[in-house]
Structure 1
C-alpha cells in the first residue's frame, strides 16, 4: 500500500461515541475492526465460524485455526467452565488472580471452555476443550466499542486475534502486533472488510499500561497445572511470554497462592514490532495515518 493510498484511509477514533457506534455497526454487519487494545491493536470480528475463517484468510493463517475470545470484563467468567478446573486450582483464587491481571492491563487467560462458547473459539488440549480469553484490561477505553458490538450482535462473546499478518503469509517466525495506527492503516486500511478504530492518543495508551511492552499479550493457562513449586504452590503455565513479563506474572500469581511454570516456547519474550526509522508517529485523535512500511 502506497503512502498516497494510506493517507486516504478514514480512521475512526476510540473515545469518539459516533466513531465507536460506526465501528460496532460495521462489526455487526460482518466486517472486522482493527482497534486499540490495551497498548497495541487487535483485530476483532463476529464469533461465527465463517467470520473467523475470513479473518484468518485476511491474515494469511489457515482458515480453520481457532480465534481467541474477547468480551467486556463482566462477561469473562461466563466463558469458562469452572466445574472442570483441576482439583488443585481453587475457583475463587483463579478469579481473583484474573481480576488483578486485568486491572494491570491486557492479558490472555486460557481455561476450560463453557459449553456456550462458539466452536470457532475453542481448541482441544489432550481431551480438554479450552478457550483462550484475550482482554485489553480494565484501563482500556475499547470496552465501549466491545460493549456496543455485543449489543448489536446479541451475544456475549466476540472473536479476536492480533492485528498483524501471520508468519504463514510473511515467512518470518513471528510477526508482532501493530502498536501504531499508521502501520495498521498501511497493512489493512485498503481492505474493504476492515475498519480501523484507533487509539485517540497512542502515547497515552502506552503510559496507561506502564508494566506492558508493546507486543502481543502474555497468556496464562489454568486448565491444567505443571506440578508444584519448591514451596508447594500449584504451578500455572505461562504459555506465551508477551507484553507482561513472566517475573511480574509470577509475583502476582504468588499473591493468590500459585506458582508459575514457563512453557518451552515461552522462555523468551515476544519482541515488539520494529518500525522503520523516521516513520511517522501519528498519535492524536482524528489524524489521518500514512503508511510506515
Structure 2
C-alpha cells in the first residue's frame, strides 16, 4: 500500500482534474469554402461549451484529490480565474461590428440564429489560407480580436465563468466563435487559487500552492503540427498530440504550459515519477509562448519572481 501512494503524482492529478473536456460539435455547414478542406482532419467545438466547463468550478470550486506525505488523502478545492486570453482571427474589427449590429437588431429581426451565425462566419472566410490548407507566417496569427490580461489582486477577481460573460458583452465572438474559426495562436491562461480542503488539516504548507495553466483554444493546428513550433521556437514543448485528446465525443484541452506559486517541499513533485521533467517542459513552453507573442503576462511574471 505504501509503495502505491508514494508513486502517485499529485501534480498529474491536478493537471488531469483541471483539464476541460469539451463536447465535439458538428463541423459548420455555413462555409463551403473551407469545409471540404478541413472536415475530417480537425475537430470542432463551440467556445461557449468550453466556458460552460468552468461554470460549476467557478461557483463551487474544483476538487483535486491530494495524497499527503503520511498517506492520508484530502480534497483540495480550487477556483479558476481568467488570467489572460488572446483570440486571433481574420477581419476582427468587421466581425465585431457585424456581431454587435446583429445583437442590436435581435429584438426585431426575423433572421434565425443559424442565419446570423452564417453571416458571422462569412466575415472570417479568408482566415483560412489557400485551398491546400498550407500555413504561412503571414496567416499564423491573423488579427487580434480580443486580449485580456488580469492585473488585479486575486481577492478582487471574479471567477472565470463570470469574467467571460462580462467580456462577452463587448466581444460576443467569445461565446459565438467555434474552435475552427480562430487562429491556432489563440490561447488562454487560467489561474487556480485554493479556497479550502476537506478534511481540514493544519501545517500542510503546499496546500496553499497556486497554479497557472495555459491552454490552446483553437483546433486548426491539429492538421499542422509545425504551427506551435513556429510560435514557441521550442519543438519539445509543442507536442500537439498531448495537448488535445479526443475521447468519446469530447476533446480534452490539456495544458501546454504551467507556472506555480508557493510550491515548496515534495507534496506536488514526486521524484519517482516524471514530475520534474513535466514541470520543466511546461514552464519552458509557457515562457517561450509568451516571448514569441510578445505578451507581458502579469501573473506569469509574479509567479516566476515570487
TM-score by length of 1: 0.26
Which structure carries more helix by proportion? 2
TM-score by length of 2: 0.25
Higher relative contact order (CA 8 A, sep 6+): 1
